[in-house]
Structure 1
Amino acid sequence: MKKNRFVRRCLAFFLVAVLPSGIIISCKEKNEDIVKRKTITEVIIENERFSILEDIMIHAGMNDALRTGELTFFAPDNSAFGRANIFSSSVITSLPADSARKLINSHIIGKERIDYSSLKEGKKKTIRGNEVSLTKTDSVFAVNRADIILPDISAANGVIHIIDSLIVR
């Protein structure tokens, strides 16, 4: 009889103390288990709406540049390129990579993340070094007359605002 009580006590101890603590320890979240937010580069690559911009970005060698830093990217989608009579990325990728880089850099405000609710009328300097003019008509902001048609696409390293035409300057 004494053996049975001992076995039962050990089994009860195991069920009450060891098993729950094993479950708790094994359920801890690891860094590699956490889903990380996508960078600006990844958002552009994964969205068909940016297929022309993706090709230009790759040609310019800016994949890594758009993965780091805090950026505000006024990104033209395929229809914005169409308004400029650019229906294929080959029009721009046939130019030197430096020209493509200048085009993309004229759409980026670096070192700051500006959400749509934080936009203010005025001038901002792009990575390229030129100034863009932010204006507001009714409730719509425009960047050098390019309306923001889809604001606040959040990325790990900044924010993307889709615009309806290219920023020319």
Structure 2
Amino acid sequence: MKRIFAAAATAALLSAGAAHADHHGGKDKSASMEEKQNIVDTAAATGQFETLLAAAQAAGLAETLATGGPFTVFAPTDEAFAALPDGTVEDLLKPENQDQLQSILLLHVVDGKTWSKDLDGQELTVTAKNGGDLMIDGTDGVTVNGIDVVKADVKASNGVIHVIDEVILP
């Protein structure tokens, strides 16, 4: 099986903000500003990943996502978590369920930076950070385990985020 990914957990979209011109050369600083924010900072800046960030914190993974990498993260939105059965998120956030929460979050993360263009026309299986398999299909857009990537290639200093609209469950 072809393996191009495999590693840790969580988070999200480009930070909001307009591009600013450098007065000493007219260069656009927005790209360098984005690249300075790690995965956690990038996710926090959007306001769309509060549940994911709370889960990463509860699972003890936030620090790894902020300082480790590079990672490719398939990041579910707050709406994706809200679509889970009632009480699921609250139960997972309990300290006694930390191992289960870690496993679910790590299923959303693989090692390295993989851009959507790298997946174009491919169907492959990759290993997530929790050891589980992810089925990636790049033949018509990009899906992971049948879930659509709704926004791809969000840059962070320590990886790339692909936003998904469902939570991947084992």
**TM class, shorter-chain normalised?**
0.7 to 0.9
Superposed CA RMSD:
2.1
Aligned residue pairs, count: 135
TM-score under structure 2 normalisation? 0.72
* Letter of the 2:108 counterpart: H
Could you tell me which runs of 5 or more consecutive residues in structure 1 were left unpaired when the two chains were aligned: 1-26, 28-33
Between stretches 80-89 and 154-163, larger displacement belongs to 80-89
For the Cα contact (< 8 Å) 1:147–1:163, is it kept in 2?
yes
For the Cα contact (< 8 Å) 1:55–1:89, is it kept in 2?
no
Match status 1:57 vs 2:59: no
Q: Distance in 1 between matches of 2:129 and 2:58?
A: 18
Q: Distance in 2 between matches of 1:44 and 1:113?
A: 16
Match status 1:82 vs 2:82: yes
* Alpha-carbon distance change, 134 to 62 in structure 1, aligned in 2, over 3 angstroms: same
Could you tell me which runs of 5 or more consecutive residues in structure 2 were left unpaired when the two chains were aligned: 1-23, 25-31
TM-score under structure 1 normalisation? 0.72
5 Å-filtered alignment, 1:52-131, equals 52-67=51-66, 68-85=68-85, 89-94=89-94, 95-110=96-111, 112-119=112-119, 120-131=122-133
Task: Select the structure that is richer in helix.
Answer: 1
Q: Cα distance, 1:97 vs. partner?
A: 1.6
Structure 1 runs of 4+ with >6 Å offset: none
* Corresponding residue number in structure 2 for 1:150: 151
5 Å-filtered alignment, 1:155-166, equals 155-166=156-167
* Letter of the 1:145 counterpart: G
* Corresponding residue number in structure 2 for 1:8: none
Q: Distance in 2 between matches of 1:152 and 1:59?
A: 26
Tell me the secondary structure at the aligned position of residue 167 of structure 1: coil
CA deviations 1:122-168 (Å, max 9, x no partner) are: 10100100110011353x21100111001111000000000111112
Q: Cα distance, 1:105 vs. partner?
A: 0.3
For the Cα contact (< 8 Å) 1:121–1:133, is it kept in 2?
yes
Tell me the secondary structure at the aligned position of residue 52 of structure 1: helix
Tell me the secondary structure at the aligned position of residue 51 of structure 2: helix
Q: Cα distance, 1:44 vs. partner?
A: 2.0
1:133 to 110, 130, 135: 135
